[in-house]
Structure 1
């Protein structure tokens, strides 16, 4: 298009001389605007999160939960970015692939921790790692829940069927003057069906998987017997 403009402005001056002087600049501006409509502009990726948390229902009666320290969720290099990932189980299940125009609004590990904190905060006090001292009740010290994210991707069983798969390992310990003392450890695996075989469907399935995981972790924490308070000394 620019080459065409140079030709019109150079070798083809005869037709511009036939126009009034005030018309030539306007015509050139119109041609430049037309050129702009043919330029491919990069498409901005669509950003996703887990959406608003559902309204809380009345919790079942149970023993009071001690305060919980929730550090940042650890994740491997493949899950450290913001890409929405998927696997083609029917073609090559060993390869993680990113959607070209879909991104999480933050790395999945951060979004998962934020969501778990919202869920667990309905049943207990949830603290950051640097706030552990705030959770002390006399000689008792708060528990620490460390999470390691192992899988967070949409798995395709076929071209039209897929599920959001979430796997992580949870380690529960107790803060003591000598350091953290292991209480329990468990691996969690959750799969939720995707409503559509695309990025929006995968995002919905993965968000559902996180909410399901939060309920499973809450029940697990309630089942793990809290450690006895450290003796006063």
Structure 2
């Protein structure tokens, strides 16, 4: 009895098929690397207030010079974290955005923006070390600086700042400014823009307030 041997040739992978497989593998690796790069970029996203608007504010400070101290606030505001609150579900919990941060601390950014805007109003902005007798001293403290969500589709940036003006050892006046600015998007970028706008509005409020205060002539 003879054994029948199957002489049907084994199919060979064509050169074209190999090339296609290599191309698919290369494309997949490239997409994977691109995805990793995108994730890394998202983790490094930083925001600031952008450039100060050009032009002088509508109100002008009535003082020739004023000492503007560094803005103070809670320890949470002395870091680069960006905080938000879900007021519609859990307003008592402040959450930090995982993939977005400020380029500097909110205390530093608000300090710099207010100094810039007051200088644009015509007053010479001095530091505490440059103070001389009779020059008014402006002290500022932040009570709130948060991206607040009123619902899943509406949010705003809120800045609550308390300003105190001293001349000599006398408190001239103290006032709290509370400004809310609507966010144009429900994310960290929208919150950053809203808080920048709220800060500029508060700066204008502070300048207008200074213009109403009875100060002694130097």
- Tell me if both proteins adopt one fold, taking TM over 0.5 as the criterion: yes
Q: Is the 8 A contact 2:61 2:123 kept in 1?
A: no
Query: Greater RCO between the two (CA within 8 Å, min separation 6)?
Result: 2
- 2:125 matched to which residue of 1? 126
For structure 1, the 5+ residue unaligned runs are 1-29
CA RMSD across the alignment = 2.6
Runs of 4+ in 1 over 3 A off after TM superposition: 37-42, 57-60
2 CA distance for matches of 1:183 and 1:58? Answer: 23
- 1:199 matched to which residue of 2? 188
Distance change >3 Å, CA 64–CA 217, structure 1 → 2: closer
- 1:172 matched to which residue of 2? 165
Cα deviation digits, residues 12-70 of structure 1 (max 9, x gap): xxxxxxxxxxxxxxxxxx99xx6xx579677232111100111104856x784231101
- 1:67 matched to which residue of 2? 65
Alignment of 1:203-214 (within 5 A): 203-214=192-203
Alignment of 1:1-233 (within 5 A): 43=40, 44-57=43-56, 64-122=62-120, 123-133=122-132, 141-175=134-168, 180-227=169-216
- TM-score w.r.t. the length of structure 1 is 0.73
- TM-score w.r.t. the length of structure 2 is 0.78
